[in-house]
Amino acid sequence: MCPAYSGGGRTDMKMTPEQLNRLLTLLGALRENILTDAEFAELNQMLQTIPQAQDIYLDYITLCTELCNLQAATRPNPTITQTLQHPDKAGLCDPSVPLDVLEILGDYERTAERIELPREIQTSCLPVPIHRVSHNVSKTPIITAIASLAALVFLLIFIYLKPQTTFEVATITDSIHAKWSSSHPIRPGYRVSVELEPIQLLSGVLEMQTDHGVKLLLEGPAEFRFTNSSEIAMNYGKLYSTVGPAGSGFTVQTKNSRIIDLGTEFGVLAELHDRSEVHVFRGKTLFITGNKNAAKTTVDVTAGQAYAATPSAAHRIELNPTGFVKAIDSKSSLIWRGQNEISLADVVGGGNGFEAGKLNVGINPISGTFEAINRSSRKAGNRFTAVASNAFINGIFVPDGTTEQIVSSAGHVFKECPPTHGIFYAPVSNTPSEFKDLSLFLGGTNYSLPQNPSIFLHANLGITFDLNAFRSRLPGAAIEQFVSEVGVCDTAPGPFNVDIWVLIDGQVRYARTGVTQKGLQDLLKIDIRNQDSFLTLIATEGENSDDNPDYQRSSIGCDWVLFGRPVLTLKQMP
């Protein structure tokens, strides 16, 4: 039995509470035979570089060994009789016997002083009254051993429990409509600590980043707590994790599984009734399933795979590409679940591209503000006007070609801009339910319905979208193409003559000029490179020779350009 504990004997380098907690977590995984290669290397590094860790490791092994022997001696066991009859064959307990360290420590604390020695030893102590001095000597090793073990137990209990309430491990970085059970307000910069009791996220979405650079998104309702800086326990709820190099080995624990990161992006669903799922979108995880004290199953889950665990088994399931919140931005109310399209019609309605915009809303090109769709001929200069209330719209303008036409805040110029009268009749609009009491059809599709979103661009108008504003809020996603149907509405009630343009950073990527016939529509698929910053859509009046003011108004009266289902397509970056 080990001697009395005295702080390990080395005091030249003190471990922080976080290091102590991590060391004990690794030792527990080693004892349960579920230590990964990365965790084994981490443990080995700690033992090589931190002397105090070596002391704790030796004490931990000694304690487990002594407690195994105590368990064998004090609890009913089919082999106890044989062990007492053949003490020379006694050894360590069966390694398959599960030892939850904290449970055993608690058991020992309650029962250690009531342990009775085997009857044969009691018999050998009968001469004590006669040989008092010799008897006192024989009792000393037993008393010392019991006292030493008790001191070690209490000290390790202190090491196990105290660090869990004394250090912070993560920072809240953003939230949307989040409410939780903690008395502390949810705000960016608030520090989240290791807790003994779980936190309930009642609703909304919470974004955190651990001190090791692991980004976490939790969706309510959920119940969770950090057990240390590299592990979070989920009783129920949804979690999405993006793990950088410094956070390798990050672990999510549910009631019946452990998910260990091996350089990944993954989502975890934990249900109340002992069912959990892991969905891997990038890299690989180690999925360890099985309830406490039950046989464990280990599965390598790679990118594009998903597995579910129940109390009885683990099995392959279909990956849910939009099942988890992968990014949020409270300033624009953006909640991205991995959708592969951004709706530009939604953005024109004041949204963020993911169903937050309003129908029948337009943008005034003079003020840059959102308003109801107002129909009247108005004269405007060709000034590029910022839309301050929406980060995804870089600006809006009325092209007239009389002077250099700026089409972005970076100063890109639309060199091919034709001369116009500088008149517009309606704002750039999101899916008008009607225009002059007419539904907007293109190619037989009714683009006045919510299920068919559209941008109504009545000449003369232009709008520019900021591609980098999307990129900065959608980590891991690349904008691949601009895709849309485009043409003049089938329901335009009179003659028209219009030019349609699509620009990337001021460069013409699509043009159809002098459109005077209905039924001429194109399906656009314009590639967008990573270095492209601005996408511009423009409608200008066609060439006219009559400068009569009445003709000016009639020349744009039916220039009803429609972009049907305009989207930016996304792909996951490698």
Element (H, E) at 264: none
Is the per-residue pLDDT at 208 higher than 90?
yes
Q: Reply yes or no on domain 167-317 having CATH 2.70.98.40.
A: no
Cis before 221 (ω within 30): yes
Selection from 467, 483, 464, 574 nearest residue 531 by Cα: 467
Is the per-residue pLDDT at 150 higher than 50?
yes
Of residues 148 and 398, the one with the higher pLDDT is 398
| Burial classification of residue 6, based on how many CB atoms lie within 10 Å of its CB (0-12 exposed, 13-18 middle, 19 or more buried) | exposed
Phi, psi angle pair for 33, to nearest 5°: 65, 40
Is the per-residue pLDDT at 157 higher than 90?
no
Quick: pLDDT tens for 288-326: 998 766 678 899 999 999 999 987 788 999 999 999 999
What lies within 8 Å, CB to CB, of 112 at 6+ separation is: 70, 146, 149, 150, 153
CA 431/CA 490 separation, integer angstroms: 15
Alpha helices, DSSP H, located in 377-523: 467-473
pLDDT band at 111 (very low <50, low <70, confident <90, very high): very low
* Token reading at 505: 């950073």
Of residues 456 and 92, the one with the higher pLDDT is 456
Give CATH 2.60.120.1060 domain extents, the chain: 338-572
pLDDT at 196: 83
pLDDT at 169: 95
Q: How far is CA 77 from the centre of its chain?
A: 48
* Angle, CA of 20, 40 and 240, to the nearest 5°: 80
Selection from 376, 345, 381, 351 nearest residue 366 by Cα: 381
Alpha helices, DSSP H, located in 32-111: 37-49, 51-74, 80-85, 101-111
Element (H, E) at 143: helix 132-161
Of residues 412 and 118, the one with the higher pLDDT is 412
Of residues 524 and 380, the one with the higher pLDDT is 524
CA 538/CA 29 separation, integer angstroms: 62
Give CATH 2.60.120.1440 domain extents, the chain: 167-317
144-153, 248-257, 528-537, range with the lowest pLDDT: 144-153
> Within 10 Å of residue 283's Cβ, how many Cβ atoms?
17
Assign 96 to helix, strand or coil.
Answer: coil
pLDDT at 48: 81
pTM of the model: 0.73
From residue 51, alpha-carbon distances to 45, 56, 62, 148, 154 in Å are 11, 9, 17, 22, 21
pLDDT at 84: 43
| Burial classification of residue 211, based on how many CB atoms lie within 10 Å of its CB (0-12 exposed, 13-18 middle, 19 or more buried) | middle
| Burial classification of residue 547, based on how many CB atoms lie within 10 Å of its CB (0-12 exposed, 13-18 middle, 19 or more buried) | exposed
Whether 181 and 223 have beta carbons less than 8 Å apart is answered as no
Q: Which CATH superfamily is domain 338-572 in?
A: NPCBM/NEW2 domain (2.60.120.1060)
Of residues 542 and 37, the one with the higher pLDDT is 542
Strand locations in 247-332, DSSP E?
Answer: 251-253, 257-261, 265-270, 276-282, 284-289, 297-302, 306-309, 314-317, 327-329
Is the per-residue pLDDT at 384 higher than 90?
yes
* Token reading at 69: 């022997």
pLDDT at 78: 37
CA 388/CA 198 separation, integer angstroms: 41
- Token pair 């319905």 in the structure block, residue: 449
pLDDT band at 66 (very low <50, low <70, confident <90, very high): low
425-430 average pLDDT score = 93
pLDDT at 58: 76
pLDDT band at 258 (very low <50, low <70, confident <90, very high): very high
Element (H, E) at 505: none
Phi, psi angle pair for 166, to nearest 5°: -125, 0
pLDDT band at 83 (very low <50, low <70, confident <90, very high): very low
pLDDT at 13: 61
Dihedral through CA 479, CA 507, CA 492, CA 485, nearest 10? -30
> Within 10 Å of residue 51's Cβ, how many Cβ atoms?
17
